[in-house]
Structure 1
């Protein structure tokens, strides 16, 4: 698996199940017996994503699916959206294990789909790129996470960078300026806690929240090659380097930076707290801009790059970000169904699709090159974000994305939750290491 540019947020897609992947490779159920269209009926393409919420991206995505289904082109998209990340991947892994996988699905590439590639259940898109080079060339060079040798098993659908959003009213009222360094962020949080204000309402019930925090802290402390060193075990998860980062997360929690009980709040609750003005900070991707519009904090939020350690300024431009999510297609064994699935993916990654999403979101950053709609009004925050992204020099996804053991993403995230209970940095490291080469 190529990893020259490490992007995305890899999620384990059920590596705990070593599914008979080859056996289920050609059994993707399209929900009907009309795969070849011989009866004159539409080919149903089952598509699974996490975009079922009320935010702009989800609403736009599902609107475009409705529009596609009105085209009368012989293809109907049947969408299944599971918004919770862990529930989504649990469901997806179960479907693959049972041979009932969708035709098109969202994933994060990297080692998270290695078992599927090795099992031969994914469709190689290179022949389709050869037939339609304009489609291929419309993308930014973000394919690495979906490439294996000469084959390509997915296309990027998002471009992201983890940023720090903050409530300008709260910071101004407490004499706090935009934090550029970790040290300035800590000073700001101390001042807010003293004033009875929640700095971050962390939603650690959705366990990727602490996982993303660990990524950013490690990249800012050790640079991007920390992921390679962890993957090769040159540095292990119980090393002094990692213990220092676990201790930092635990220290912040004990100081009250993350709210009273992060494990009782999920990601949606965390967002709600920030969007209602109950918390001062939130780290999230560039897409979060679209969720601010129309909320209680609309016009009261600004954004900056995720802070860096003052003594490690050389890693300032090393960020968590890159290609984010992508679409992969399962090989149904039916050429007509595969072709229809590719048409669906082309539609949902077209220049027109992203020009419309940019307009609906009043901006954003995207993986496809396109001309903006002349009527698109890009807000000042998005302009600022584009400048922040331009300053980034290294993009890396979750550190476990390139780990040879595909369970490690979930293993690390689960272990981090112990830091919010009665665990210690040492027990966190021990729990992770104990699972190596076990699952």
Structure 2
């Protein structure tokens, strides 16, 4: 191939979609590395936070269509700068901060026009110029609507919105053939958008993943049928939802659903025989228990269960389900710390555990860090713990050596533990590293948005 004309080589490389496949080819020779890394690997994914969206980058992407046309995925979010993925080698280093907004918008729009092979677009950014907000910029919406390769669309909403924004979203009816659709935020639950949203969903019958905030009076999606639906996450106000009956019927007919997130009003339970393919559930205690108690679906193999409370009745049900596939467990309330330790025996394959109220029950007001570590040691394959007070308890210890000993004790009790996820204004992650007998942890800050 390296004897072919440059245009043919570029066309061939442009047909390779993932950076991983490109890297495999780049490692075969210096010739391929020098061609592929700066011109192709750096032009497949564009993940930017607010600090990364410089004028020089958008000007570069606007001027170099030969490079920008190969970008497959664009994510504009509130991510930390360290998580960004962006081209660097061929981008001019200087950035004209004085460039006016009109010129910035012109480059921004031209760059998107150059993204001819765009497959995935995500926008979850609030602190940005108005022209970067999709439903405030009809030109950007038109480009996205006409993106022939677009199969994945993730949109949140701007904190400030106008009536014009609602009118612009009438263009939603132009989207078609999407396979992954995320529309999360109160804007999408507006009754005004109902008909436009329904029209768009009807044009996307091949959807496999649907994440949607819906109108509690008239949910737009329940009249649609998606034969390939695998992931469904739907959100509304749990206190005023008037549409649970229609939603339960929608869930019933979609037997392909493997992952479900749905928090209905108190007391709503699954219709018997629903969700035969379900592997992951995130819902209220009552709804989740109705799934676990449904005997009409034999051999249900759940991988993730959230959120349930532990009491004698729920423990009885948990002992009766197939424990072999359960890897993730999210607990809300529990009677006592001994019941959590029993779960380690019932579900020995647990790798991810979330217990936000660990140590907060009345029977545990005097529980210690050692008690918590001993409890976690009952899960032999545990790799990640989420939203527990274990981090705060260790940081409250006095003296560096004392904290270091506590980290080592935790690592020894949970030999497979790799990360601790906690929330402090945003989701943050601590990574545990082992080197012989020494164990350290590092707060790597915010996770990818």
- TM-score by structure 1 length? 0.23
Q: Which has the higher contact order (CA 8 A, sep 6+)?
A: 1
